């Protein structure tokens, strides 16, 4: 990992991981759109991701792409379990890269949180109204036969055959991502999805090699990381997203995340993407922290310091000075912007202007000419009033 010595705010400096250079430290976080049909991306994904790519971000990551059909969160999730699904994403990936941003993709399996409602239909277990719309439930699989909550589907506890197929599915999806031209991939091991349910003692009561103590509960996550790194090009970085804590007493803790991050680093993971919660519904913070702006940055800082690995900070980071302060304090190496990027797709360009970084990149020609005329018109109006 090398950083540029250029005397710009860190937010606007490049970062090199392996043979891949991020043009700046701001990335677009994966945000599910629930707009796919049978796992295939379409026009919505091209316009959504393409619009963000024009915003000046150093990298844009797609939403979670299921590595198996049963790994989708909802009927509207994208997938990467076949070559045809990869080709459906190609226009979006190509457009992101044509804008000068790196293209990343998040690989995922929803586990016991699969086969649920789209958020605007309730964000819960599928009900009669969902079935009437044609959203029929499918068999789901998990670490243990434990549902998310009452009324939710009970997952089938995965056996050794299921686990072997899953590990291969992650590797196959990574191979497809490379063929697509993706610059980096992220394994989703957070938010109560499959890999996190294996990690957490709250959702894993297995008695075999994939349960029990921390070593057993980490086994599947490490096997997936090793399989993906084994097929992913040596010059391209590999991210792993974690829930740094469960947020429930007796659950996964930051000390566990530090150990996991060290094991992932040894397998060739380059960046730990530090989120939190999601395993048991609404997270309860039990370690004295208050939910607020940048509330997950402390987790990122602790992992970064104790493991000596690059981290990505996420969660309620709203403006450039806040992001810059986190980078300067050593809390993270990259800053992922999610909901704020939807609110302002040109977030980074606007932050550059506000922070006085006047030489940050250039607008696309199709916009720059009009914006130059806008500035000249505003200036002429101001001068006429003097």
Judged against a pLDDT cut of 80, whether residue 291 lies above it is answered with no
- Compute the average pLDDT of residues 290-317: 91
Annotated catalytic residue within 193, 210, 353, 367: 193
pLDDT in tens, 77-94: 999 999 999 999 999 999
193 is catalytic: yes
Domain count, the chain: 1
- Among 101-115, 136-150, 347-361, the range scoring the smallest mean pLDDT is 347-361
Which pLDDT value is given to residue 372? 79
Judged against a pLDDT cut of 60, whether residue 259 lies above it is answered with yes
Give the 3-state secondary structure of the chain. Answer: CEECCCCCCHHHCCEEECCEEECCCEEECCCCCCCCECCECCHHHHHHHHHHHCCCCCEEEEEEEECCHHHCCCCCCEECCCHHHHHHHHHHHHHHHHCCCEEEEEEECCHHHCCECCHHHCCCECCHHHHHCCCCCCCCEECCCCCCCCCCCCCEECCHHHHHHHHHHHHHHHHHHHHHCCCEEEEEECCCCHHHHHHCCCCCCCCCCCCCCHHHHHHHHHHHHHHHHHHCCCCCCEEEEEECCCCCCCCCCHHHHHHHHHHHHHCCCCEEEEECCECCECCCCCCCCCCCCCCCHHHHHHHHHHHCCEEEECCCCCCHHHHHHHHHCCCCCEEEECHHHHHCCCHHHHHHHHCCCCCCCCCCHHHHHHHHHHHHHHHHHHHHCC
CATH number at residue 9: 3.20.20.70
For residue 319, the enclosing domain spans 2-384
Which pLDDT value is given to residue 3? 47
């Amino acid at each position: 990992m090398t950083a540029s010595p250029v005397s710009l705010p860190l937010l606007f400096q490049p970062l090199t991981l392996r043979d891949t250079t991020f043009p700046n430290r701001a990335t677009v976080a994966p945000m599910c759109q629930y707009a796919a049909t049978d796992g295939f991306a379409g026009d919505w994904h091209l316009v959504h991701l393409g619009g963000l790519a024009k915003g000046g971000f150093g990298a844009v990551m797609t939403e979670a792409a299921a590595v198996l059909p049963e790994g989708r969160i909802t009927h509207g999730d994208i997938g990467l379990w076949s070559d045809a699904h990869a080709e459906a994403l190609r226009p979006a990936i190509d457009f992101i890269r044509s804008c000068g941003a790196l293209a990343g993709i998040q690989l995922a399996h929803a586990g016991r949180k699969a086969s649920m409602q789209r958020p605007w239909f309730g964000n819960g277990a599928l009900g009669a109204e969902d079935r009437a719309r044609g959203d029929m439930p499918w068999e789901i699989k998990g670490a243990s036969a434990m549902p998310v909550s009452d009324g939710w589907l009970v997952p089938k506890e995965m056996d050794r055959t299921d686990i072997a197929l899953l590990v291969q599915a992650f590797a196959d999806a990574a191979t497809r991502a490379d063929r697509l031209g993706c610059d980096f991939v992220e394994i989703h091991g957070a938010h109560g999805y499959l890999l996190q349910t294996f990690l957490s003692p709250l959702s894993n009561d297995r008695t075999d090699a994939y349960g029990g103590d921390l070593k057993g509960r980490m086994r599947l996550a490490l096997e997936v990381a090793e399989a993906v790194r084994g097929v992913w090009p040596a010059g391209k970085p590999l991210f792993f997203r974690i829930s740094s804590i469960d947020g429930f007493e007796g659950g996964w803790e930051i000390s566990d995340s530090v150990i996991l991050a060290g094991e992932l680093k040894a397998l060739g993971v380059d960046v730990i993407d530090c989120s939190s919660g999601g395993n048991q519904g609404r997270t309860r913070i039990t370690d004295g922290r208050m939910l607020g702006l940048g509330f997950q940055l402390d987790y990122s800082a602790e992992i970064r310091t104790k493991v000596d690995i690059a981290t990505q900070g996420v969660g309620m980071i709203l403006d450039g000075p806040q992001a810059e302060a986190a980078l300067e304090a050593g809390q993270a190496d990259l800053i992922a912007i999610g909901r704020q990027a939807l609110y302002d797709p040109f977030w980074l360009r606007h932050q550059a202007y506000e922070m006085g970084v006047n030489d940050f990149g250039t607008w696309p020609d199709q916009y720059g000419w009009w914006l130059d005329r806008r500035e000249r018109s505003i200036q002429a109006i101001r001068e006429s009033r003097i």
